[in-house]
Structure 1
């Protein structure tokens, strides 16, 4: 029977979408096919389903998501009774459940529904669907005792109606009350109760949402600027010095359109990062002249300036009634929501209570989810030397919102802050260091000079060398000020890893530094090595690469079955290239008898069971290899790129192995998601020493 989870509430305004998104994230970590069903809907398309479909790449036909709209349901209930309404919704639910391993049910929203006893209807539907229930109680603006009472009453209501209540969630409580509410409910309820504090950034509308709601026109700005959250409003009527004093981070400045001084002053403040603002809203249907607008666009490129015809008073009334919404158009809000959920919910325990069996397939999304979860479980600090690079800043934004790890960004601090402000990137508590002016520079110069004295490096020369961001970041890792480093989005591979060779050096049991890619195919993850570092390894080096790659695979949940690739299989071929692979295979077997390995073997025999049955019958690796070792860089690099492009695989890496501490290189074409994944991998690699184990290869 399909497992189903029904997220519901007791009233409107509970911010339930955060919980629905968080539960979807949990389910997609475990299974490949997750369906969505909303029994009753106000509008189609549904905003939250559009977000889920975009974020989790759902292929479900949108027409199957909805039971019926509220108007139809109300009429049916009035005419033919609740039993008929429930019967039809059950039929439509089962039409979805047949095709999915698990279904997330989004309960009714208690907003102008005209349905009597809506809570009882949700409870009955959950029971008829065979779904377990997670009720959500809203606590915004309520005293702690009132929130606790509502949570207890909600549990009793759903439990009393026969529901299988998995857990309770209390959402949007005052931050200072969260712990007290959680402690009291932990002793009063028989199921876990997770308490989430109110997060202003989730309730804040974006500038784009404000533009749409007010029917404003965009005078200046780009899509990134319009995606900024308006965390507050500052109404400009005073003199410029007084308005500047009133500015707060993320505020939207509302001013009559003829106050060019306030427009320029607010944008200049944003450009200086004191503070970064969301944008400027012009009233009275007035706009500054072209000269002022040209200056404004140069002061703060991308920062939105929008215009409305109304005066400030009716504009203010509309602004204060707006609330931000999670949608496919607000991906950063989704990251914030997930971070909030994951920080305040025991996700491992909740997933256990849901009792969804893990799928035998491992999709790219499931692998990526697991990376973030592993990194978050034991937070580490990762240094990113390319602190002013846009993709790095956007990746940092995701990592901070999701609470994946602590970060240090290197570069000119003011330049980083300005770029972050222009991109509306939330750096949170991220550490910013300028190697040129850092107090660490002298100590690092002495350290580097001592390490490289045999090469004639003096302290004076070292002082210049360590101002390079990659050398500075590597020394931070070496000295324990960071746990790992990720670079390469704008630097060459050599510039990224040369400092690691000189400073961190290889592990005692590693003869070579090599790399792997995690190749995420549609239904499994393969490990390819070495596709990025060593041009033509000899047999001993190839054996070392195989052993390191097996250890890396195991560290990230891939059971290692090693295929030593060649252009021939078994004893069918000969020649120097085949002999090298045959010798490397022998060396691995002698040094690591516990590893399952086959070689030489061709790629098709390594991964395709039908070919393996013909070429190497009885092999425990052939046809089911998970770690594929290429004989040289030419073969490996071209193969991983061919598979990536032709098979639509997600390539995560390169992940360096063999160093004493983790340093990883990015492709200069790396996407934001690639950087996020690589930082998570680096954080995971650094976790092992804290557990008293050797760093994984």
Structure 2
């Protein structure tokens, strides 16, 4: 196991978030990463920020750091060696917290403040005792290139070992949007021998992003000690701007946009009514904050009650507007422990901007069996990267559904896919405006009423064997899912994603009629990618086939194994049953035995075993006991359920009870990719399904 020690070059460089962002970036490479904060940052009794978020967002069994009081006491008594022994013990504990052992341990040093002048030397000692390579974190805020070069040079010399090693790279935070990157890098290298010699490579430049600093309305209320008049969505809405109402409404109405916190005395009836009207018009204001302990007159409150008692957060503070605004400008940027969403987005933002490939050769340790255990973060990262490379055109028939619009915008902005929304353009723009979104110019919006007639004749031709007439085709094409399916059938798009407001049958039936199954595919089945804490598993079939026979079950297993391999998962297929091996009998067990035999005959390249009970398939100790000679037991990555009842029940139980993200269902066996969404799908679910569909389009949907 290798160790990276992340150290700041000065105060206020964003150390904790950068360290956890680095952890996420390394996990995306498929590395098993342990995290350690050796010594707590403050004397506060609460859990250290970075430790809290490592546990909350990464599921790591991160040990509690040594208290700052204890560390300072040991240092003052000259007991640094004892302190380091405790740190080494913690590093072993952190590594042991990763099942199967960690490939790399990332340790976060102490941030440099005015109160801990000893921190620089202590960090250097920690890095040496942990035998770590150091990642320096600096900031471009308030520093000249010359000063930054000196800062990096001095810090690097403090951490470089006598053999010239010990430096892994450096990261620059808070870069201005208009940064002349080439000029900066040239000047830094011109002023630093270590940078010029390549001993300290640049791992990433992270730009400033105001949206990541936006606190929730709830956080503002806590900070001000404000009274919550109406909670509404105070836990969800974020403050991206503050509007202090010093002018008349017509002169500031344009400021009443998404994320605006309107700060006003309660007797400004015009402002109160304007804010209420903005809310009722669909503008997601961050909230309405009454100052000076005031509130609107009863008559105004009654008139605006529909807004003031709805999802709009309403707060009241005793300070006047000027004092309130002044306090808000000084609000701490620290992320509260219960705001995991903000920290999660921040870590993704940082990880997206880090190039950890230079560290790969130093850190990667192959698995003993040579197989890759693909962790969820790596799966999601590679999913997006493969989708970007595919550059496919995906049609979304539910084009004016809010989650779908948000997902399409995200996909286009991130280059995941070229999305096509089927909906009235005016309706889509209205939905986007209400969500505070700007529709990208490259996002296609097609009006179904305009394009519908062009698919009547082709549809009649495709369904002529069934006697479909033009009037019947025109009637069926009133359904946007059917229009989208025709676009796919004719090759105008590469895939289709639907289901946010349609049933599975509404999505799949047109595909079966117009797309049909792929050559060699006997049926259509589905899989879910289950993002377990340690790795991604494949569950099939949990959405389509109610009670497959032995041949159908074998087909599902083959399709699922091929899909797993296509998405970077080494397939070890477990054919599940209520018994393992020869321990049970009965019709259901015999079906699984027969299906297993058929797969071995048809595809001897697939590693498969069955029947296996779930615990024998998934838990190594149980597998060794119940099926000691099995190549799959305890190490299965693809789980094939004997029927839909078992599969759907199991996936939902695992998803809900264990808090596991389930990506899918992804349909297999169609000639072209069509994928169904759960009607409770989140925006992220839709984004990942679009990415899956784009990748399927490059591989052949029948795989």
Query: Shared topology, TM-score over 0.5?
Result: yes
Shift in alpha-carbon separation, 1:242–1:141, aligned structure 2, 3 A: farther
Out of 251-260 and 31-40, give the one that drifted further: 31-40
**Structure 2 residue 295 is matched with structure 1 residue 284:** no
Q: How does 1:535-574 map to 2 (within 5 A)?
A: 535-564=546-575
The answer to whether the Cα contact below 8 Å between 1:363 and 1:525 also exists between their aligned partners in 2 is: no
Shift in alpha-carbon separation, 1:312–1:606, aligned structure 2, 3 A: closer
CA distance in 2, matches of 1:374, 1:433: 25
CA distance in 2, matches of 1:173, 1:207: 27
Could you tell me which residue of structure 2 aligns to residue 104 of structure 1?
106
Could you tell me which residue of structure 2 aligns to residue 234 of structure 1?
243
Q: Which stretches in structure 2 are left out of the alignment for 5+ residues?
A: 96-103, 190-194
Aligned-partner SS, 1:172: strand
Aligned-partner SS, 2:215: coil
Shift in alpha-carbon separation, 1:517–1:264, aligned structure 2, 3 A: same
The answer to whether the Cα contact below 8 Å between 1:516 and 1:529 also exists between their aligned partners in 2 is: yes
Out of 166-175 and 472-481, give the one that drifted further: 472-481
Deviations 1:221-272 (A, max 9, x none): 33x4344332222221222111113445422222222112212213423443
Could you tell me which residue of structure 2 aligns to residue 212 of structure 1?
222
Could you tell me which residue of structure 2 aligns to residue 49 of structure 1?
51
Deviation of 1:168 after TM superposition, in Å, equals: 0.6
Could you tell me which residue of structure 2 aligns to residue 123 of structure 1?
124
Shift in alpha-carbon separation, 1:425–1:269, aligned structure 2, 3 A: closer
Aligned-partner SS, 1:191: coil
Could you tell me which residue of structure 2 aligns to residue 25 of structure 1?
24
- Equivalenced residues, count: 678
Shift in alpha-carbon separation, 1:562–1:537, aligned structure 2, 3 A: same
Out of 649-658 and 311-320, give the one that drifted further: 649-658
Out of 355-364 and 634-643, give the one that drifted further: 355-364
Could you tell me which residue of structure 1 aligns to residue 675 of structure 2?
664
The answer to whether the Cα contact below 8 Å between 2:421 and 2:446 also exists between their aligned partners in 1 is: no
The answer to whether the Cα contact below 8 Å between 1:548 and 1:658 also exists between their aligned partners in 2 is: yes
Shift in alpha-carbon separation, 1:485–1:8, aligned structure 2, 3 A: farther
The answer to whether the Cα contact below 8 Å between 1:202 and 1:325 also exists between their aligned partners in 2 is: no
Q: What TM-score comes out, normalization by structure 1 length?
A: 0.81
Could you tell me which residue of structure 2 aligns to residue 511 of structure 1?
522
Aligned-partner SS, 1:23: helix
CA distance in 2, matches of 1:597, 1:584: 10
The answer to whether the Cα contact below 8 Å between 1:605 and 1:612 also exists between their aligned partners in 2 is: yes
CA distance in 1, matches of 2:153, 2:53: 31
The answer to whether the Cα contact below 8 Å between 1:174 and 1:198 also exists between their aligned partners in 2 is: yes
Alignment partner of 2:666 out of 651, 655, 670: 655
CA distance in 1, matches of 2:24, 2:663: 20
Q: How does 1:177-216 map to 2 (within 5 A)?
A: 177=179, 179-180=181-182, 184=186, 188=196, 189-193=198-202, 194-216=204-226
**Structure 2 residue 258 is matched with structure 1 residue 256:** no
Could you tell me which residue of structure 1 aligns to residue 345 of structure 2?
336
CA distance in 2, matches of 1:90, 1:397: 50
Could you tell me which residue of structure 2 aligns to residue 10 of structure 1?
9
Could you tell me which residue of structure 2 aligns to residue 376 of structure 1?
384
The answer to whether the Cα contact below 8 Å between 1:661 and 1:695 also exists between their aligned partners in 2 is: yes
The answer to whether the Cα contact below 8 Å between 1:270 and 1:276 also exists between their aligned partners in 2 is: yes
Deviations 1:27-65 (A, max 9, x none): 55556672422424222312332222211234445xx32
Aligned-partner SS, 1:166: strand
Deviation of 1:622 after TM superposition, in Å, equals: 6.1
Shift in alpha-carbon separation, 1:632–1:180, aligned structure 2, 3 A: same
CA distance in 2, matches of 1:75, 1:581: 65
The answer to whether the Cα contact below 8 Å between 2:284 and 2:436 also exists between their aligned partners in 1 is: no
Q: What TM-score comes out, normalization by structure 2 length?
A: 0.81
The answer to whether the Cα contact below 8 Å between 1:36 and 1:105 also exists between their aligned partners in 2 is: yes
CA distance in 1, matches of 2:571, 2:436: 39
CA distance in 1, matches of 2:462, 2:312: 47
CA distance in 2, matches of 1:182, 1:500: 54
**Structure 2 residue 312 is matched with structure 1 residue 303:** yes
Aligned-partner SS, 2:553: helix
Shift in alpha-carbon separation, 1:576–1:278, aligned structure 2, 3 A: closer
The answer to whether the Cα contact below 8 Å between 1:140 and 1:173 also exists between their aligned partners in 2 is: yes
CA distance in 2, matches of 1:143, 1:452: 70
Deviation of 1:164 after TM superposition, in Å, equals: 1.5
**Structure 2 residue 84 is matched with structure 1 residue 90:** yes
CA distance in 2, matches of 1:521, 1:533: 23
Q: How does 1:527-606 map to 2 (within 5 A)?
A: 527-564=538-575, 584-585=595-596, 587-598=598-609
Deviation of 1:452 after TM superposition, in Å, equals: 4.0
CA distance in 2, matches of 1:578, 1:121: 63
The answer to whether the Cα contact below 8 Å between 1:55 and 1:328 also exists between their aligned partners in 2 is: no
Could you tell me which residue of structure 2 aligns to residue 686 of structure 1?
694
CA distance in 1, matches of 2:209, 2:548: 53
Q: Which stretches in structure 1 are left out of the alignment for 5+ residues?
A: none
CA distance in 2, matches of 1:150, 1:428: 43
The answer to whether the Cα contact below 8 Å between 2:37 and 2:50 also exists between their aligned partners in 1 is: no
Could you tell me which residue of structure 1 aligns to residue 101 of structure 2?
none
Could you tell me which residue of structure 1 aligns to residue 68 of structure 2?
68
Shift in alpha-carbon separation, 1:567–1:327, aligned structure 2, 3 A: closer
The answer to whether the Cα contact below 8 Å between 1:126 and 1:163 also exists between their aligned partners in 2 is: no
Could you tell me which residue of structure 1 aligns to residue 34 of structure 2?
34
Aligned-partner SS, 2:3: strand
The answer to whether the Cα contact below 8 Å between 2:425 and 2:446 also exists between their aligned partners in 1 is: no
The answer to whether the Cα contact below 8 Å between 1:399 and 1:676 also exists between their aligned partners in 2 is: no
Could you tell me which residue of structure 1 aligns to residue 234 of structure 2?
225
The answer to whether the Cα contact below 8 Å between 2:574 and 2:609 also exists between their aligned partners in 1 is: yes
Shift in alpha-carbon separation, 1:243–1:169, aligned structure 2, 3 A: same
Deviations 1:402-449 (A, max 9, x none): 987676666677877787888x78788598777766755555566555
Deviation of 1:498 after TM superposition, in Å, equals: 1.8
CA distance in 2, matches of 1:192, 1:448: 58
CA distance in 2, matches of 1:325, 1:409: 39
Deviation of 1:652 after TM superposition, in Å, equals: 4.7
Shift in alpha-carbon separation, 1:167–1:462, aligned structure 2, 3 A: farther
